[in-house]
Chains A and B, each alone.
Chain A
């Protein structure tokens, strides 16, 4: 009987909610700090080279390269980041965190200026206003006028990337809509064909494409590269846009049409606004893809007036790597800046592309 009693009614443990709550809080902040530390450590190999590039571009002088500025900077920044993660984990109120973070940032900045302030300079960025920097450095080894102004390359890159974006967004949204909404003979085959095309390594086509461009007279033109890139990239973006259109309910379109809209008006006024996120994501990716393109432009663009940024960087590095790292790093920073800014501002749309849907 006694055993039955104990089974039915275990002795009530003295529950102390406060201790439990504290334990829960402690565990939560511990796991958060661990996660933060882990993310910092795995991102180091990615961040460090970029950081180094920036440091070099602002400190290096013609000649060899020294790493002491990098290590000094790291010696200030790494403890500051670690300290902040400790602060973040231990301070509960967001306001206190903000204040502590600001103080920490001020101290770090002051330390950086005190330790390496006198080494900072902008000389490496002189390529922005002087076209013949490379020739000046290697006067004997290069013929004058080999390099165009960096702004020519920048403009070419911009033209290529923007036109790429416009072509892809127009074709991908119209094609994606059509494939999503209309049944037509060979639709399945078309979809499969697009997937195969996407999986196919376009690099293998480089010789035939070179010859075709030569024959049609588009070799060494931005338009030629634009058409090639758009053709190769489109299948993927059509697929992405189809996914976005698939998630727009039919009802809304039917409703617009009974409300008096034509199919085209329904598309423009009702459907397109709902795939806005997709349009933004696809534009950003198309832009960045064209901005960073190297192989095709390297093969199809020859004259220096047609150089894009990646070619400019390549030739700068080719000519003065080992002589002046500072300028190579500065050109790299200048080259990477637009993509970086785009990523920063469109981040929230880009993460939604992989989900491929719209939120209700």
Chain B
């Protein structure tokens, strides 16, 4: 268990920059998710932490001590790869005991610990099997047991659920969370799936193009996205974004105009989450072009003065049909304004 700090971390491959200016500090025992699209540098960050890659600049510290030059095998890190990376030539018990053979643990003691951790992740009936005889979920658990058996300072999970089917993913999510709480091990989860990140982690770090976009709780990211990227990446169905131009206390978007509570100038982007929009008598008029029932709610697509806009209504049944004319409104708190050039969120509000 350890407190992890990254200070201005950078890794480049020749000309290409994989990650840059990474500053992050993770409390002991925390569960942090690194979220981002593929190629954003999240796996590079993970491998930098594991010591597989060495940083081009900056510092990695465990409990305040710089570990840049500590080799991977000495960092005492447990890692679960997306492919699980089980050793196919060993059975489950041998796989789980593998890390202990380098720590000079007595074989009997090693086996006792392996069995204990196997019971924790619930693979105890499978110990004699080979990895090729296990299902995806079981392999996942074995990989987790192997990562945990050495009592790591840090547990790294690289897209651990992406190879599982939907129902198994759901149960593994809870399972990993339970094991992490039980052991209190500092954990970093790398994923491109926002549901995985929001359901499992205490804090989320959103990465894009090798940089950290924003760090915070799921709620922070959802309600107060600091950048356009975070706003568009978090949330499903995605946020409605409208390009506009602000001038003299109003924004012109497409054919519509909106008043601003605080004046700004220049190109801006207005973001409204589909669930912030309500249908009532007043507001901007729109015509529904598509109705998509999604089970608990219905997603509508409508044409308005701002352009194409999507909104959600709770309940399994559709209350509007195609070609219905409706009026949409939203509260001024829910209209997020971004500077188009820098991508940063503006403090300004629209007067809805």
Say yes or no: is A261 at the interface (Cβ < 8 Å to chain B).
yes
User: Which of B75, B85, B150: most chain A Cβ within 10 A?
Assistant: B85
| Residue-wise interface mask of A (255-269) relative to B, using a CB-CB cutoff of 8 A (1 in contact, 0 not) | 111111110010001
Say yes or no: is B47 at the interface (Cβ < 8 Å to chain A).
yes
* A265 contacts across to B, CB distance below 8 A: 102
* A262 contacts across to B, CB distance below 8 A: 73
Say yes or no: is A171 at the interface (Cβ < 8 Å to chain B).
no
* B99 contacts across to A, CB distance below 8 A: 259-260
Say yes or no: is B250 at the interface (Cβ < 8 Å to chain A).
no
* B229 contacts across to A, CB distance below 8 A: none
Binding site for A on B (CB under 8 A): 47, 50-52, 72-79, 81-83, 85-89, 98-99, 101-103, 132, 146, 150
For residue A266, which residue of chain B has the nearest CB?
A: B73
Question: B87 touches which one: A252, A254, A360 (CB < 8 A)?
Answer: A252
Question: A260 touches which one: B50, B85, B87, B103 (CB < 8 A)?
Answer: B103
* B75 contacts across to A, CB distance below 8 A: 258
Q: How far is the CB of B75 from chain A (nearest CB, A)?
A: 7
For residue B50, which residue of chain A has the nearest CB?
A: A258
In the complex, are the beta carbons of B79 and A258 less than 8 A apart? yes
In the complex, are the beta carbons of A257 and B102 less than 8 A apart? no
Q: How far is the CB of A128 from chain B (nearest CB, A)?
A: 42
In the complex, are the beta carbons of A273 and B89 less than 8 A apart? yes
In the complex, are the beta carbons of B72 and A257 less than 8 A apart? yes
Cα distance A271–B134 when bound, in Å?
21
* B73 contacts across to A, CB distance below 8 A: 257-262
Q: How far is the CB of B52 from chain A (nearest CB, A)?
A: 5
Cα distance A265–B102 when bound, in Å?
10
Assuming A254-B81, A255-B85, A270-B87, is B51 touching A260 (CB within 8 A)?
no
* A256 contacts across to B, CB distance below 8 A: 87, 98
In the complex, are the beta carbons of B132 and A254 less than 8 A apart? no
In the complex, are the beta carbons of B52 and A257 less than 8 A apart? yes
* B146 contacts across to A, CB distance below 8 A: 255, 259
| Residue-wise interface mask of A (240-259) relative to B, using a CB-CB cutoff of 8 A (1 in contact, 0 not) | 00000000010110111111
* A260 contacts across to B, CB distance below 8 A: 73-74, 76, 99, 101-103, 150
* A270 contacts across to B, CB distance below 8 A: 87, 89
* A259 contacts across to B, CB distance below 8 A: 73, 98-99, 102, 146, 150
Say yes or no: is A310 at the interface (Cβ < 8 Å to chain B).
no
Cα distance A258–B75 when bound, in Å?
8
Say yes or no: is A283 at the interface (Cβ < 8 Å to chain B).
no
- What does DSSP make chain A's interface, helix, strand, loop or mixed? helix
Question: A360 touches which one: B52, B78, B132, B150 (CB < 8 A)?
Answer: B132
A119-151, CB < 8 A from B: none
Cα distance A269–B86 when bound, in Å?
12
In the complex, are the beta carbons of A258 and B77 less than 8 A apart? yes
Say yes or no: is A274 at the interface (Cβ < 8 Å to chain B).
yes
A74-89, CB < 8 A from B: none
In the complex, are the beta carbons of A254 and B47 less than 8 A apart? yes
For residue A252, which residue of chain B has the nearest CB?
A: B85
Cα distance A270–B102 when bound, in Å?
14
Cα distance A143–B131 when bound, in Å?
66
Q: How far is the CB of B47 from chain A (nearest CB, A)?
A: 7
Q: How far is the CB of A105 from chain B (nearest CB, A)?
A: 38
For residue B83, which residue of chain A has the nearest CB?
A: A251
* B87 contacts across to A, CB distance below 8 A: 252, 255-256, 269-270, 273
* A255 contacts across to B, CB distance below 8 A: 79, 81, 85, 87, 146
* B98 contacts across to A, CB distance below 8 A: 256, 259, 269
Cα distance A163–B78 when bound, in Å?
42
Cα distance A257–B74 when bound, in Å?
9
Cα distance A276–B132 when bound, in Å?
16
Cα distance A222–B87 when bound, in Å?
41
In the complex, are the beta carbons of A254 and B52 less than 8 A apart? yes
Other CB < 8 Å A-B pairs besides A257-B72, A258-B77, A259-B146, 11 of them?
Answer: A249-B83, A252-B85, A252-B87, A254-B81, A255-B146, A258-B72, A258-B75, A258-B79, A259-B73, A260-B150, A269-B98
Q: How far is the CB of B83 from chain A (nearest CB, A)?
A: 5
* Nearest 10 CB-CB pairings of A with B: A260-B102, A273-B89, A251-B85, A259-B99, A255-B85, A251-B81, A260-B73, A257-B72, A252-B85, A258-B79
User: Which of B47, B50, B98, B146: most chain A Cβ within 10 A?
Assistant: B98
For residue B53, which residue of chain A has the nearest CB?
A: A254
Cα distance A204–B81 when bound, in Å?
51
In the complex, are the beta carbons of A254 and B150 less than 8 A apart? no
* A251 contacts across to B, CB distance below 8 A: 81-83, 85
Q: How far is the CB of A345 from chain B (nearest CB, A)?
A: 21
* B150 contacts across to A, CB distance below 8 A: 259-260
Q: How far is the CB of B198 from chain A (nearest CB, A)?
A: 26
In the complex, are the beta carbons of B83 and A258 less than 8 A apart? no
Cα distance A98–B145 when bound, in Å?
49
For residue B47, which residue of chain A has the nearest CB?
A: A254
In the complex, are the beta carbons of B89 and A274 less than 8 A apart? yes
For residue A272, which residue of chain B has the nearest CB?
A: B89
Q: How far is the CB of B253 from chain A (nearest CB, A)?
A: 47
Cα distance A273–B50 when bound, in Å?
24
22 A–B contact pairs at CB < 8 A? A249-B83, A251-B81, A251-B85, A252-B85, A252-B86, A254-B50, A254-B52, A254-B72, A254-B81, A254-B85, A255-B85, A256-B98, A258-B72, A258-B73, A258-B77, A259-B99, A259-B102, A259-B146, A260-B74, A260-B99, A265-B102, A273-B87
